């Protein structure tokens, strides 16, 4: 293709994306959370009309009677199930909300799932069987788990992190801003990503110890990493105030996921966005600069 024709085509596609976005209202669940907050911002920047859905706006995953008012009149929805996409409650609720959404004419649904999490497969199945125009974004472990959420206090107030990932286990930590950009690109690309699973990771494999060393380097603090067996981590979680039942679920989940199965890169970010994923070093530097870890 000649350079001129290519440029014209790119221009037409950008116009199409803008037109699609201008007419689209997207419901963003978890809009006050790590991914939902970024999806809402990225969708707004792309020209979509964003309808935030969390308990603050009267939407409750645990109360079906609140779903229709959040969905009615929208075109699309981003589904991020708290606390984990692999919980039995997630499988039930995602299937049910997806069917309800389709019934209300909200056909375009993007689900946040987790890479390598076999427990999430029933949740993904519920979405696929709903009749929706679905896309599943399977994310690696978030870089922002270290900067937002329960681990941040331990890093800020203690001398490091205790976690049940063995020294040799490596993970391609993904920046949640990349997840959001992929979600919005999937929503604004017509039917290009309908019926697809997109695996998104960062550009590099790091052990948990290396991730903490990056944060230590960025903050100038002598943070350390200590790996503990999953069972021992249960006591650690409950000491931090996690209810025992949730700790049971998390420990089982970590035992399943932290066996090295996810120690490989995926190219979803590059394929969808045409650029490299954000690197952990940049994430650590930015979060340290914002005073995240004191």
Ligand X SMILES: NC(=O)c1ccc[n+]([C@@H]2O[C@H](COP(=O)([O-])OP(=O)(O)OC[C@H]3O[C@@H](n4cnc5c(N)ncnc54)[C@H](OP(=O)(O)O)[C@@H]3O)[C@@H](O)[C@H]2O)c1
Residues of the shown chain interacting with ligand X in the complex, contacts defined by CB under 6 A: 30-36, 54-56, 59-62, 80-82, 84-85, 112, 114, 139, 141-142, 145
Decide whether 33 or 160 has the Cβ nearer to ligand X: 33
Decide whether 139 or 218 has the Cβ nearer to ligand X: 139
Q: Is 236 exposed, middle or buried (0-12, 13-18, 19+ CB in 10 A)?
A: middle
Q: Is 245 exposed, middle or buried (0-12, 13-18, 19+ CB in 10 A)?
A: exposed
Decide whether 17 or 144 has the Cβ nearer to ligand X: 144
Decide whether 62 or 220 has the Cβ nearer to ligand X: 62
Considering the complex, what minimum distance in angstroms separates the CB of residue 56 from ligand X?
5
Considering the complex, what minimum distance in angstroms separates the CB of residue 111 from ligand X?
9
Residue whose C-beta lies closest to ligand X: 33
Please state, in angstroms and rounded to a whole number, the distance separating the CA atoms of residues 258 and 138.
16
Considering the complex, what minimum distance in angstroms separates the CB of residue 12 from ligand X?
34
Considering the complex, what minimum distance in angstroms separates the CB of residue 13 from ligand X?
29
- Residue 184, SS3 per DSSP: helix
Considering the complex, what minimum distance in angstroms separates the CB of residue 293 from ligand X?
18
Residue identified by tokens 């009309």 is 49
Decide whether 204 or 221 has the Cβ nearer to ligand X: 204
Considering the complex, what minimum distance in angstroms separates the CB of residue 93 from ligand X?
9
Decide whether 82 or 122 has the Cβ nearer to ligand X: 82
Considering the complex, what minimum distance in angstroms separates the CB of residue 17 from ligand X?
24
Q: CB atoms < 10 A from the CB of 129, how many? A: 12
Decide whether 145 or 189 has the Cβ nearer to ligand X: 145
Task: Please give the full DSSP string across 194-255, using - where no structure is assigned.
Answer: TTEEEEE--SS-EEHHHHHHHHHHHHT---EEEE--HHHHHHHHHHTT--HHHHHHHHHHHH
Q: Residue 129 has which token pair? A: 């069987």
């Amino acid at each position: 293709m000649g350079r001129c024709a290519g440029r014209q085509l790119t221009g037409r596609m950008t116009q199409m994306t803008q037109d699609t976005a201008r007419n689209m209202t997207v419901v963003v669940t978890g809009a006050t959370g790590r991914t939902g907050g970024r999806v809402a911002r990225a969708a707004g920047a792309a020209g979509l009309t964003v309808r935030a859905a969390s308990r603050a706006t009267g939407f409750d995953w645990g109360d079906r009677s609140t779903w229709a008012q959040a969905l009615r009149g929208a075109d699309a929805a981003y589904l991020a199930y708290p606390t984990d996409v692999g919980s039995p409650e997630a499988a039930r609720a995602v299937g049910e909300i997806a069917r309800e959404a389709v019934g209300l004419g909200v056909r375009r649904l993007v689900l946040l799932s987790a890479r390598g999490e076999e427990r999430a497969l029933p949740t993904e199945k519920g979405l696929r069987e709903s009749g929706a125009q679905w896309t599943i974004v399977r994310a690696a472990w978030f870089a922002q788990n270290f900067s937002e959420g329960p681990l941040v206090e331990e890093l800020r107030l203690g001398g490091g992190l205790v976690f049940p990932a063995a020294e040799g286990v490596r993970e391609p930590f993904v920046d949640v801003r990349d997840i959001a950009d992929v979600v919005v690109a999937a929503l604004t690309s017509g039917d290009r990503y309908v019926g697809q699973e997109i695996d998104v990771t960062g550009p590099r494999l790091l052990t948990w110890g290396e991730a903490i060393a990056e944060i230590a380097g960025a903050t100038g603090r002598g943070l350390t990493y200590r790996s503990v067996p999953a069972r021992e981590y249960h006591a650690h979680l409950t000491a931090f105030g996690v209810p025992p039942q949730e700790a049971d679920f998390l420990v089982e989940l970590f035992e399943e996921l932290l066996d090295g199965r996810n120690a490989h890169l995926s190219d979803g970010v590059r394929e969808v966005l045409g650029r490299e994923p954000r690197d952990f070093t940049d994430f650590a530097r930015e979060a340290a600069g914002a005073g995240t870890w004191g």
